[in-house]
Amino acid sequence: MPTSAIILLQANNFKFIAQHKNNNTSEDLLLSMSESKTIWWDDGLWLVDQTRLPGELLPLRIKSVRQLIEAIKTLRVRGAPALGAAGGYGIALAASLSPAGNAAELMDELENAADMIKGSRPTAINLSWGVDRAMHAAALQETAEDIRIAALREAEEIAEEDIRINKLLGKNGARLLDDGDHVLTHCNAGRLACVGWGTALGVIRSAVAAGKHIHVYSCETRPLHQGSRLTCWEMNADKIPVTLICDNMSGSLMRKGKIDKVIVGADRITRDAVFNKIGTYSHAVLAKHHKIPFYVAAPLSTFDRLHEEKDIVVEERDGEEICCMAGVRLAPQGIEVYNPAFDATPLELVSGLITEKGVFRPPLMPPI
């Protein structure tokens, strides 16, 4: 097949045409995205490899728990709700691959897999939530075969539920947006960060679906560029107008009156703070100063009512992510680097928590 040839791939309900490397652009990718999934089970575990975007939209078959952990650590699959589904599917995968012949032996193996998967990224609560849900369903069974069936059924339920919840949440949040709004977002809280639809971008999608004209300002999101690579790609694919900016431009845009609202997602919402991609806190402080509403969109599964900001481990990542970009060195070799993946925004800076149960203005929290 010539390198410019189009490969038609169809997996589960995820349909796309990807072009070969030397000739592809986002526009070349014909997508049937609105109902497509980021992670799914089709005779095994599949996910969209997000490290290849925006250049290539490629499905990746996950063949072992070790490979899933690598995919989570390197952000091939990322975003709190997608990690929740990855956690559930990870247990289903471990169960399906295990040769264990009895329930006790299989549960021992699953406990091991559960610890390893949960440890792969500590901050997004949905990862351990998804693992725990599948483990709980498995633990109720009496035979190894029933454990395998129950773990997969629970993982599929988490995935289906995610899309339903995001659409509800989107509808609730869409009421907060006015026709003509310019909305700033940070990182990617879209369908790629979920199984489908998205949280922060789901709100924007729902507003657009309701006939409102929304213009998105997407912060690039250093150091891994989830904003420029993923949010801009998603908005382009849906033909929602988007302008890419560097993270440090948001204050200046707010001062010029170019931002009406800010909406971000969350990796964990404790009793006192929202944990989200590093840089979120700065946008929240700037929004407060400029009297711009700052909203957080997240499903109830992202809420952690047992903990406060001080209890949470923030993932620190390899400094090379900051020092190198696309293989080019941007800082002197050996320089000291601090690279936290997330920051905490105190709830008093949040104008509303957009959930599937409605919008809650802190200190009000959604019911459990």
Residues annotated as catalytic are: 267
Report the nearest approach of ligand MRU to the CB of residue 112 (Å): 24
Name residues contacting ligand MRU, limited to 298-357 (CB under 6 A). Answer: 341
Among 36, 41, 68, 78, binds ligand MRU (CB under 6 A): 78
Instruction: State which amino acid sits at residue 101.
Output: G
Beta bridge partners of 215: 182
**CA–CA dist 166, 149 (Å, integer):** 26
Give whichever of 95 and 354 is closer to ligand MRU, judged by the CB atom. 354
Compute and round to an integer the Cα radius of gyration of the chain: 20
What whole-number distance in Å separates Cα of residue 173 and Cα of residue 142?
43
Does position 270 interact with ligand MRU (CB under 6 A)? The reply is: no
Residue 304 CB, shortest distance to ligand MRU, in Å, is 13
Selected binder of ligand MRU within 80, 85, 93, 165 (CB under 6 A): 80
Q: In the set 33, 60, 124, 165, which binds ligand MRU (CB under 6 A)?
A: 124
Q: Does 47 bind ligand MRU (CB under 6 A)?
A: no
The residues pairing with 183 across neighbouring beta strands, listed in sequence order, are 216, 261
Among residues 229, 261, 277, 283, the one that binds ligand MRU under rule CB under 6 A? 277
Cβ–Cβ contacts within 10 Å for residue 338, how many?
7
Closest separation in Å from C-beta 81 to ligand MRU: 5
Quick note: the x/- pattern for ligand MRU over 228-267, rule CB under 6 A, is: -------------------------------------xxx
Q: What is the closest distance, in whole angstroms, from the C-beta atom of residue 11 to ligand MRU in the complex?
A: 23
The residue (of 218 and 226) whose beta carbon lies closer to ligand MRU is 226
Q: Please identify, using beta-carbon distances, which residue of 148 and 261 lies nearer to ligand MRU.
A: 261
Cα→Cα distances 221→25, 84, 171, 313, Å: 21, 22, 26, 21
Number of residues in contact with ligand MRU under rule CB under 6 A: 18
Q: For ligand MRU, which is the closer residue by CB, 72 or 286?
A: 72
User: Cα-Cα-Cα-Cα dihedral of 283, 286, 291, 294, to 10°?
Assistant: 10
Return the range that interacts with ligand MRU (CB under 6 A); candidates 71-79, 142-150, 248-256, 323-331. Answer: 71-79
Residue in the shown chain whose Cβ atom is closest to ligand MRU: 265
Q: Measured from the CB atom, is 150 or 356 closer to ligand MRU?
A: 356
* SS3 state of residue 343: strand
Distance separating alpha carbons of residues 264 and 297, to the nearest angstrom: 6
Chain positions 129 to 148 lying near ligand MRU, rule: CB under 6 A, are: none
Closer by beta carbon to ligand MRU, 31 or else 124: 124
Residue 358's region, left for phi above 0, alpha for psi from -120 to 50, else beta, is: left
103-119 helix and 80-97 helix, angle to the nearest 10 degrees: 150
Backbone angles phi, psi at 367, to 5 degrees: -65, 155
Give 187 or 235: the residue with its C-beta nearer to ligand MRU.
187
Provide the angle, in degrees to the nearest 10, between the axes of the packed helices 65-73 and 80-97: 160
Asked whether position 75 contacts ligand MRU by CB under 6 A, the answer is yes
| 81 Cβ neighbours under 8 A, 6+ residues apart | 126, 162, 166, 193, 194, 195, 199, 299, 301, 302
Contact positions vs ligand MRU (CB under 6 A): 75, 78-81, 124, 187, 189, 193-194, 199, 226, 265-267, 276-277, 341
